[in-house]
């Protein structure tokens, strides 16, 4: 570790190039045998990135034809121009030292097995910058599209093509000619042949890792009508948020660079490394639960709970189910231990009623959320987040009043939240859904904290850590409306989308489809992805039967958390059978996307069933028009041909031995198929996850 005052050095040897950039087979099966299938393993190759250092202190990062040119560190968006630059060897690679007017920056370029990394240290300054990027102002070449990961629940995440500038008459307005998009934790650059450079950090305990894709455009001609030269740039670094530095020194986590020949597998390989570094909780049983929210909303009561439990008692054979979770309905936000009149017996009695049926009891808590009508707000305004003008920050202002957020750095806030979660755990709740977590992640440069000097992540993670400590290692923790990176190692499941609604809306169902598709590389790697609830009910719903069943199959084949809010008492025999058909394996197993990101118009997901020597194949037209499309058997399962069956819960119809599957799907329609090696139908009792339907409680099986 460097001292605050760094002695100037002269290095004799200049580095010309790093390691070779050839592609080599990578044995991913050893790490994730349950998350990929055989044909993907045969195709995926992990390459060796390379670097080139230049005498002016810049460097290139190379992955096949992809190149980040002339990288140099940047501070708060401005490239660093040093008084002196020194380059030489380091223990694991090469080192560059930039002497500034008021300190030093040191970059370590390191060689690892299958990757390179860039570490950074800043010394000689008393305060951290707001943003520091070891990779700054890098010109992008050889790239067709980019992958951006949203900050957390709701994204936006996806693979996007670079915009092509066109001739336009802007009239009397200044036209929008440039663009900039942020990405968090994991980012990717994708060439036209599928070669991918994946970039991200392993450590997320102290800083938000943020990357940015942006352009610099120039136009020409009268009224800026014609496109000129457009250059694409990339930067990757950390939000250090102007915190004071002990000993005038800051060491940042390494940023890693991977190179592979397929975008999904390359991104997932980086995610696996993040998972290992943070001891992610990926061994928890797949969640299969009921939530009160979308059927009852705030009206849910003890009486309603008893009605649903009695309905479950009468269903024969018993429904396999893990958890019943009480959502937002039992208190004024902030007063988490003062239950309302809907729960006259208290929540401990409710938990006992659930447990007596051999289900797990779940509870919803929004730890940072405070209603202006709460006792907490009236008596402890000093616990709330304030802006730099010492004014309370209003998070929401709706018909029910204003909502505020707790300051996670305040010792009394932490003491109170410990009491809340400890109390519910002692009541018997072992499933916790924590919501509105983004309200607790406040940039240190924009708030006045009770205890200053910590970044948004450092303050936030103190609360997340105490929650896990109080509920215990054996409790299930589901995060919603949450940032992703700081939660790794603490949560068992993560909501990846906005709240779904009872209709096909852009902000609900469409967002859930996009985020579940583009974050599948994280599913059962960092946590179980939760795409929100599925709907089977016929009443109080705007989705038609085709849409409900398509979304249900999509959510369930992914291999993440499965949940519903429907009243069990209102389901008919067909809906009950459908729910049984969704019973997951205990051990998490993810679907594979053979055409990811967008090689087909339809979304395609595949599950492997080794026991039955077959595959489940879901083809989903989530677009707004009818689609006719062909799918090669070789693409989806690696065989030249297969026996194909149209598959429904409890039944199947043979379509013959096929080399290609040709389908016409209406908008929002999905078809589930079973591909067999041996011309054998899927067993009637087989579920979508490949286990036999059970009448026992799920967590007892």
Backbone φ, ψ for residue 326 (5° rounding): -85, 125
Q: How far apart are CA 510 and CA 512, in angstroms?
A: 5
Question: If you write DSSP's letter for every residue of 570-581 in order, what string do you get?
Answer: G--HHHHHHHHH
64 is a domain residue: yes
pTM for this model (two decimals): 0.92
Average pLDDT rounded to a whole number, residues 31-59: 71
Give the contacts of 618 (CB within 8 A, at least 6 positions apart). 553, 554, 557, 591, 603, 604, 605, 606, 670, 671, 672, 673
User: 621 with 566, same domain?
Assistant: no
Residue 130 in contact with residue 237, Cβ under 8 Å? no
- Does residue 272 sit in the same domain as residue 292? no
For residue 671, what is the domain's CATH number? 2.60.40.1180
Instruction: Supply the pLDDT for residue 38.
Output: 37
Lowest mean pLDDT among 162-171, 236-245, 335-344, 527-536: 162-171
Average pLDDT of span 11-29: 33
| Averaged pLDDT, 576-593 | 94
For residue range 641-696, what is the model confidence (pLDDT) as tens digits?
Answer: 999 999 999 999 999 999 999 999 999 999 999 999 999 999 999 999 999 987 55
In a domain, 400, yes or no: no
Lowest mean pLDDT among 23-37, 437-451, 673-687: 23-37
Rounded CA separation 575/549 (Å): 10
pLDDT attached to residue 223: 75
Residue 699 makes CB contacts below 8 A (sequence gap 6+) with: 285, 322, 323, 360
- pLDDT at position 697 is 54
Residue 219's pLDDT is what?
77
Residue 653 φ/ψ, nearest 5 degrees:
-130, 125
Helix segments in 90-208, DSSP class H: none
Q: Are residues 218 and 273 in the same domain?
A: yes
Domain that holds residue 360: 288-366+419-581
pLDDT value at position 573? 95
Instruction: For residues 241 and 331, give the distance between their C-alpha atoms in angstroms, rounded to a whole number.
Output: 35
Tell me, yes or no, whether 466 and 607 share the same domain. Answer: no
**What is the per-residue pLDDT for 552?**
98
Least confident of 224-233, 343-352, 378-387, 664-673: 224-233
User: What CATH code is carried by the domain that includes residue 465?
Assistant: 3.20.20.70
- Least confident range from 33-42, 416-425, 475-484, 606-615: namely 33-42
Q: Are 223 and 327 in a shared domain? A: no
Strand partners, 432: 363, 477
Residues 113, 131 share a domain:
yes
Token pair for residue 231? 């250059």
The span from the CA of 595 to the CA of 602, in Å, is 9
Is residue 40 scored above 50 in pLDDT?
Answer: no
pLDDT score at 536: 96
Does 240 score more than 90 pLDDT? yes
CA distance 131 to 642: 54
Res 533: pLDDT: 96
Per-residue confidence (pLDDT) for residue 554, from 0 to 100: 98
- Asked if pLDDT for residue 1 goes beyond 70, the answer is no
Q: What tokens appear for 266 in the block?
A: 């390359």
pLDDT, greater one: 220 or 247:
247
Distances from the Cα of 359 to the Cα of 323, 340, 347, 355, 431, angstroms: 5, 24, 15, 5, 11
pLDDT of residue 586: 87
**Which pLDDT score, from 0 to 100, does residue 695 have?**
58
Query: Exposed (0-12), middle (13-18) or buried (19+): which is 274, by Cβ within 10 Å?
Result: buried
Say if residues 231 and 215 touch (Cβ distance below 8 Å).
Answer: yes
CA nearest neighbour of 4 among 311, 213, 247, 205: 247
| Beta-sheet pairing, 401-405 with 396-398 | antiparallel
Tokens of 167: 């001739």
d(CA 271, CA 221) in angstroms, rounded, equals 46
Say whether both 325 and 206 belong to one domain.
no
For residue 591, being part of any structural domain is answered with no
Alpha carbon 115 to chain centroid, angstroms: 22
Average pLDDT over residues 95-103: 95
Q: CA 124 to CA 616: how far, in whole Å? A: 59
Give the span between the Cα atoms of 125 and 246, in whole angstroms. Answer: 10
Q: In whole angstroms, what is the distance from residue 336 CA to residue 424 CA?
A: 10
C-alpha span between 232 and 162 (Å, rounded): 9
392 falls within a domain: no
Is the bond preceding 597 in cis, omega lying within 30 degrees of 0? yes
638 and 554 inside one domain? no
Residue 424 tokens read as 């519910």
Is residue 25 pLDDT above 60, yes or no? no
Q: What percent of the chain has pLDDT over 70?
A: 93
Shared domain for 144 and 209, answered yes or no, is yes
Of 278, 299, 333, which marks where a domain is finished?
278
Q: How far apart are CA 331 and CA 343, in angstroms?
A: 9
Q: 158 vs 186, 204, 485, 560, CA distance in Å?
A: 11, 22, 17, 19
Q: What is the pLDDT of residue 221?
A: 77
Number of domains in the chain: 3
Confidence of residue 163 (pLDDT cuts 50, 70, 90): confident
What are the DSSP E strand ranges found in 464-612? 476-479, 493-495, 528-530, 562-564, 603-609
> Is 204 among the domain residues?
yes
Tell me how many degrees the CA angle 17-21-27 measures, rounded to the nearest 5.
Answer: 140
The residue from 581, 615, 645 where one domain ends is: 581
Q: Determine how β-strand 59-63 pairs with β-strand 45-47.
A: unpaired
Is the Cβ–Cβ distance between 189 and 180 less than 8 Å? no
- Residues 546 and 657 occupy one common structural domain: no
pLDDT at 587: 85
β-bridge mates for residue 652, sequence order: 647
Average pLDDT over residues 36-45: 55
CB 323 within 8 A of CB 289: yes
Q: Report residue 555 as tokens.
A: 């959510």
Pairing of strands 603-609, 614-621: antiparallel
Compute the average pLDDT of residues 322-348.
97
Q: What do you get for the CA distance between the two ends of the chain, in Å?
A: 52
pLDDT band at 241 (very low <50, low <70, confident <90, very high): very high
φ, ψ (nearest 5 deg) of residue 358: 70, 30
Q: What is the pLDDT of residue 380?
A: 98
- Asked whether residue 34 carries a pLDDT value surpassing 90, the answer given is no
Q: Are residues 632 and 498 in the same domain?
A: no
Same domain, 309 and 442: yes
- What is the average pLDDT across 80-98? 93
Examine residue 62 and state whether it is found in any structural domain, yes or no.
yes
Please compute, for residue 22, the number of CA atoms within 13 A of its CA located in the half-sphere on the CB side.
Answer: 3
Residue 151 included in any domain: yes
By C-alpha distance, which of 122, 124, 123 is closest to 132?
Answer: 122
Give Cα separations from 121 to 87, 185, 204, 245 (angstroms).
15, 20, 16, 12
For 104-133, the three-class secondary structure string (H helix, E strand, C coil) is EEEEEEEEECCEEEEEEEEECCCECCCEEE
Higher-confidence position of 641 and 164: 641
Which whole-number Å values give the CA distances from 632 to 36, 512, 635, 659, 664, in the listed order?
18, 27, 5, 6, 15
In this structure, the dihedral spanned by the alpha carbons of residues 217, 68, 123 and 457, taken in order and rounded to 10 degrees, is 80
The answer to the question of residue 597 being in a domain is no
Lowest mean pLDDT: which of 209-218, 220-229, 476-485? 220-229
| CATH classification of the domain holding 68 | 2.70.98
* C-alpha angle 349-355-359 in degrees, rounded to nearest 5: 135
Domain end marker among 230, 258, 278: 278
């Amino acid at each position: 570790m460097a001292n605050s005052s760094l002695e100037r050095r002269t290095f004799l040897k200049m580095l010309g190039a790093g390691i070779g950039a050839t592609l080599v087979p990578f044995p991913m099966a050893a790490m994730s045998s349950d998350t990929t299938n055989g044909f993907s393993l045969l195709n995926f190759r992990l390459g060796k990135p390379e670097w080139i250092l230049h005498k002016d202190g810049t460097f290139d990062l190379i992955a096949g034809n992809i190149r980040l040119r002339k990288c140099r560190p940047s501070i708060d968006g401005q490239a660093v121009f040093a008084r002196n630059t020194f380059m030489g060897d380091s223990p694991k690679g090469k080192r560059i030292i930039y002497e500034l007017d008021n300190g030093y920056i040191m970059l370590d370029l390191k060689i690892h097995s299958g990757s390179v990394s860039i570490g950074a240290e800043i010394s000689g300054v008393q305060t951290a910058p707001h943003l520091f990027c070891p990779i700054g102002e890098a010109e992008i070449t050889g790239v067709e599209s980019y992958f951006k990961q949203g900050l957390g629940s709701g994204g936006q995440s996806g693979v996007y093509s670079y915009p092509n500038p066109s001739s336009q008459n802007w009239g009397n307005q200044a036209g929008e000619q440039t663009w900039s998009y942020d990405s968090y934790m994991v980012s990717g650059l994708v060439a036209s042949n599928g070669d991918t450079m994946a970039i991200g950090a392993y450590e997320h305990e102290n800083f938000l890792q943020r990357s940015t894709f942006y352009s610099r455009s120039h136009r020409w001609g009268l009224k800026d009508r014609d496109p000129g030269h457009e250059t694409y740039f990339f930067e990757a670094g950390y939000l250090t948020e102007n915190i004071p530095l002990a000993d005038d020194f800051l060491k940042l986590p390494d940023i890693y660079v991977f190179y592979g020949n397929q975008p999904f597998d390359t991104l997932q390989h980086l995610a696996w490394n993040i998972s290992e570094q943070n001891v992610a909780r990926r061994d928890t049983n797949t969640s299969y639960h009921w939530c009160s929210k979308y059927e009852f909303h705030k009206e849910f009561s003890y009486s309603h709970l008893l009605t649903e439990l009695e309905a479950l008692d009468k269903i024969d054979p018993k429904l396999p189910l893990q958890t019943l979770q009480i959502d937002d309905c039992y208190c004024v936000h902030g007063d988490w231990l003062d239950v309302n009149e809907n729960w006259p017996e208290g929540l401990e009695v409710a938990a006992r009623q659930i447990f007596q049926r051999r289900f797990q009891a779940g509870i919803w808590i929004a730890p940072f959320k405070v209603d202006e009508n709460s006792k907490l707000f009236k008596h402890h305004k000093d616990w709330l987040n304030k802006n730099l003008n010492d004014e309370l920050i209003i998070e929401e202002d709706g018909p029910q009043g204003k909502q505020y957020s707790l300051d996670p750095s305040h010792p009394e806030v932490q003491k109170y939240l410990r009491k809340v979660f400890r109390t519910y755990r002692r009541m018997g709740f072992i499933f916790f859904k924590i919501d509105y977590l983004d309200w607790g992640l406040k940039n240190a440069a924009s708030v006045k904290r009770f205890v200053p000097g910590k970044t948004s992540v450092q303050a936030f993670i103190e609360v997340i850590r105490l929650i896990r400590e109080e509920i215990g290692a054996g409790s299930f923790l589901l995060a919603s409306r949450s940032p992703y990176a700081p939660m790794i190692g603490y949560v068992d499941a993560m909501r990846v989308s906005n709240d779904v609604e009872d209709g096909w809306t852009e902000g609900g169902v469409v967002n859930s489809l996009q985020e579940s598709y583009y974050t599948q590389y994280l599913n059962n790697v960092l946590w179980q992805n939760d795409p929100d609830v599925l709907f089977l009910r016929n009443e109080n719903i705007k989705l038609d039967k085709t849409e409900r069943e398509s979304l249900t199959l999509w959510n369930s084949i992914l291999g993440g958390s499965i949940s519903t809010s429907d009243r069990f008492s209102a389901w008919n025999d067909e809906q009950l059978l459908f729910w049984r058909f969704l019973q997951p394996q205990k051990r998490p197993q993810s679907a594979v996307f053979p055409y990811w990101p967008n090689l087909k118009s339809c979304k395609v997901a595949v599950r492997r069933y080794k026991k039955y020597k077959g595959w489940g194949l879901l083809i989903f037209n989530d677009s707004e028009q009818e689609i006719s499309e062909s799918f090669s058997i070789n693409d989806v399962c690696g065989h030249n041909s297969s026996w194909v069956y149209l598959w429904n819960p409890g039944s199947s119809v043979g379509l013959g031995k096929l080399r290609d599957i040709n389908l016409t799907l209406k908008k929002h329609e999905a078809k589930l198929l079973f591909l067999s090696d041996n011309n054998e139908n899927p067993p009637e009792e087989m579920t979508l996850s490949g286990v036999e339907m059970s009448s026992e409680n799920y967590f007892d099986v």
